[in-house]
Structure 1
């Protein structure tokens, strides 16, 4: 390493003012020549997945200094989707992804940092950090803080956040459980620090980060409370200094092969539908062309190998004990493409190192949970630019369904109808004007989808939206419908009582209304007034693109 980015603030008499300010922070002369490593930490007291990060910060810092670097912490905000769910706060969740990427870019460029350790965990924070890494293309390594342990009850029962809070709420409303049992769920659902226990968005993104080669082996599944996570944090601190010295940057790792591998692992595990948005956005920053149709092409040839909570029986702690990401790569080995990683060994070398896989948790390709992957991309006259369904969470009975449209122009109106008993078998709930622009912010719909399941309607009612879903959503729920209603997409033209056909095997979403009727409705449609007219979200709504392109901000 002949020169460093940080030389711009440490070398020459012209940089006397900058060195004075660095000394003002406590940097001694003996450390001025070391690589300057920023540790972007999303620690906060507000999110269970992030409350344990103070501990990991210490180990990353020790690793950086042991490796020969000098570290600087700087803070990155986070939003807990579970806490933000079902009210105005959820408008802000997806937009924070863009803010996080912009903030990391700003700090790293302004201070000429040589490399970054990105300490993250929850839903939009991880993709925001990966977007920044790809955009900056300076040495970076990601540390995901890890999943929480499952709650424990009597007779071996295990509790999880979504099933035992959101769905339990609906079961309580329906009289299936009493207040005492509801309180047990509330007390047991989140027993430790860490991201929620199932294969929700946070844990799916952690797994995909490791698959992409941007974090160390086992980082994606090692529990937040484990000593293994501490050792990974230390090793990541050491590794970033080596990456700076060797000039290894994210775009050398984030290739088309890396994204294809990540999609396959996601499909094999039945992960969150939000990963479609996030992988598209990260690929864009990395300069990799990744069309939406690739998700479906890969889904048709990648079997689902695991039955993970919320739709299945296994928790993240089970996947970690079964061998984590390397175990999934091993089972998919004939379909996985070789690619370098930041860790040193290539993907194929990681696969070759696998000694044993618990095949009860990660099944072989010859004996899959389902023949196709966990995510499907639908098209049709209702979604010309595509829609996304987590088919791993849909029962066989609902893979093909025709229902009567029940139209709601907000999540709140749909939720009131569900909880008021106004949705019955044969209905198809349409929630619109909740897309990237219309929401704004493309709110997650965990509350209505969990209510659907909790009320026992998962095999008789479907739900579609131009918004999106939590990674914890299961059931016949189709999101990301593009174009969205606020852009005049066909979902805006659906009328109460229209018949809609959902055909997941044939990837179709069709509004069974003739074109002449739709044309007449289209001529009467008027663009609605923005729901939020001030602050950051009004600027976001003006700049955000469609869900089928990742809901990224326009660059010009």
Structure 2
């Protein structure tokens, strides 16, 4: 392996930086002649999605040493969203994406790494790693932590979302029994939540080596694939292959196609759009809208079907899904393997099953995600059609308004919310929360009270990838910016049509204008710290909701 310019490390005036590495245990020869590979480890003991990442990081470093470089491991912040579920602090999670990206950017810039290998699993942590890859634009590979195995309770497979509903059911014995069994291994909760959605999309982004994203955390193939990633990074370095070479507009359009097909978490929209902004690519929410009319859901992973992500891996994984979608994908684009996507897929063979269907025999005739617009959300909002009961594809009801998730939960539990109501939950968006909170309490309570077939919910907040039902999120403009959702009053008629793609409040333009003239922006819920900084610098959800105030100034 021929190492390129090392002047930053070889000059006489570089002695001060060399001595720091020597004092850390690296030799003069290694420092001066070998590639320095930053190994980003989002290890954290408090989550099954990240508590096993030390072992994966060691395998990555072994691969780097074997490939002839020196691995320099450092940590990036990591959390588990499930820990803050039901607490006000859940609003920090989306903000965490930007903190992770900034942390990786900070360390990488200071230490002048030649390349990065990032190890991540969950939700906004892995999304932040992708965002950092786009921002730094040096050769990068991401190694996923993989999904956990499903639990077994009373002879039935159970996943973490089942526990969320059980908490609100009131059956203490069943809750305690399930709590001991629902998460039996390391790895990301194996439903199509944000964690697994973003791991899967890593292969579509060309940041995760094909076929490796869904290897279960408990499978030793995960360790082998991590070691291979450590060695493969040198192919990218030698050929100067950067994220901007691999993540093109066509690449991101492919990721949208895959996301529709797997019925991925609605949060993926935020993350894909933020990546597009970072790379100055012309990808907008309109692309999601257009593609949603072309790509049906073909993957039966919960909440869109009865299976889990381990089942998906065993049925063919991401390459299998992309093979089924081959006729719709841009296949002339390059991949991490150094060949075109067409060449990668030429080696994939798969048959249609209940886990991964063909386009000719989809699981649903609808996409996994859909964009809704109307006078209640002129800039767009999001719904997951595959998680909606058939008789709620179009629903209409009287609005009952709330300004936070906790008040909506109390109303559901007290019986205030009845059949035919539409909960309007506002001031929980990017600026209003701030942080665009996941409103899991009220959505889980609707399921626990068996109201998901008769009650709708519309919000400027977002949802967990676990959530399902007739729930509309990402309403924009958000309430804090004076969007129409701020002007809804109790008793207004809300109409949501997932077939036509509309969300409206049945009041006249004149009445809307009258209410807007009388509207007063509320005091910020948070006035200091990172949440306040986020509120001051974030883009709206239809532009990714990231702290990227500079992108529109380019």
TM-score using structure 1 length: 0.97
- Residues 311 and 398 from structure 1, CA distance in 2 versus in 1: closer, same or farther, beyond 3 angstroms? same
1:267 aligns to 2:260 (yes or no): yes
Q: State the Cα distance separating 1:3 from its structure 2 match.
A: 6.3
1:521 aligns to 2:519 (yes or no): no
1:474 corresponds, among 468, 473, 480, to: 468
Flag structure 2 segments of 5+ consecutive residues without an equivalent. Answer: none
2:167 maps to: 169
2:16 maps to: 17
1:440-475 per-position Cα deviation (integer Å, ceiling 9, x unaligned): 000111221111112101110011100000000100
Question: How many Å separate the matches in 2 of 1:265 and 1:283?
Answer: 16
Query: Is the 2:3–2:34 Cα contact (8 Å) retained in structure 1?
Result: no
Question: How many Å separate the matches in 2 of 1:186 and 1:351?
Answer: 40
Query: Is the 1:322–1:358 Cα contact (8 Å) retained in structure 2?
Result: no
Count of aligned pairs between the two proteins? 548
2:217 maps to: 224
Question: How many Å separate the matches in 1 of 2:472 and 2:131?
Answer: 26
- Residues 260 and 5 from structure 1, CA distance in 2 versus in 1: closer, same or farther, beyond 3 angstroms? farther
Q: State the Cα distance separating 1:136 from its structure 2 match.
A: 1.0
Flag structure 1 segments of 5+ consecutive residues without an equivalent. Answer: 173-177
Question: What aligned pairs does 1:297-446 form with structure 2 within 5 A after superposition?
Answer: 297-338=290-331, 339-357=333-351, 359-446=353-440
Question: How many Å separate the matches in 1 of 2:5 and 2:264?
Answer: 38
1:277-297 per-position Cα deviation (integer Å, ceiling 9, x unaligned): 000001111221111011011
Q: State the Cα distance separating 1:2 from its structure 2 match.
A: 7.1
Q: State the Cα distance separating 1:85 from its structure 2 match.
A: 1.6
Query: Is the 1:304–1:369 Cα contact (8 Å) retained in structure 2?
Result: yes
Question: How many Å separate the matches in 2 of 1:340 and 1:549?
Answer: 26
2:237 maps to: 244
Superposed CA RMSD in Å reads 1.3
Question: How many Å separate the matches in 2 of 1:12 and 1:357?
Answer: 58
- Residues 531 and 329 from structure 1, CA distance in 2 versus in 1: closer, same or farther, beyond 3 angstroms? same
- Residues 206 and 349 from structure 1, CA distance in 2 versus in 1: closer, same or farther, beyond 3 angstroms? same
Q: State the Cα distance separating 1:235 from its structure 2 match.
A: 0.7
1:96 maps to: 96
1:1-56 per-position Cα deviation (integer Å, ceiling 9, x unaligned): 87657641x11111111111110111112212100000011000122100010110
1:455 aligns to 2:453 (yes or no): no
Query: Is the 1:304–1:370 Cα contact (8 Å) retained in structure 2?
Result: yes
Q: State the Cα distance separating 1:357 from its structure 2 match.
A: 3.4
Moved over 3 A (4+): 1-7
2:130 maps to: 130
2:288 maps to: 295
SS in 1 for 2:16: helix
SS in 1 for 2:327: coil
1:44 aligns to 2:44 (yes or no): yes
2:499 corresponds, among 498, 502, 505, to: 505
2:188 maps to: 195
1:70 maps to: 70
2:227 corresponds, among 211, 228, 234, to: 234
Question: How many Å separate the matches in 1 of 2:347 and 2:229?
Answer: 20
Query: Is the 1:127–1:282 Cα contact (8 Å) retained in structure 2?
Result: no
Question: What aligned pairs does 1:113-152 form with structure 2 within 5 A after superposition?
Answer: 113-152=113-152
- Residues 6 and 122 from structure 1, CA distance in 2 versus in 1: closer, same or farther, beyond 3 angstroms? farther
1:547 corresponds, among 538, 541, 546, to: 541
1:253-295 per-position Cα deviation (integer Å, ceiling 9, x unaligned): 0011111111111111111000000000011112211110110
Query: Is the 1:4–1:114 Cα contact (8 Å) retained in structure 2?
Result: no
TM-score using structure 2 length: 0.97
Query: Is the 1:330–1:351 Cα contact (8 Å) retained in structure 2?
Result: yes
- Residues 6 and 415 from structure 1, CA distance in 2 versus in 1: closer, same or farther, beyond 3 angstroms? farther
- Residues 5 and 381 from structure 1, CA distance in 2 versus in 1: closer, same or farther, beyond 3 angstroms? farther
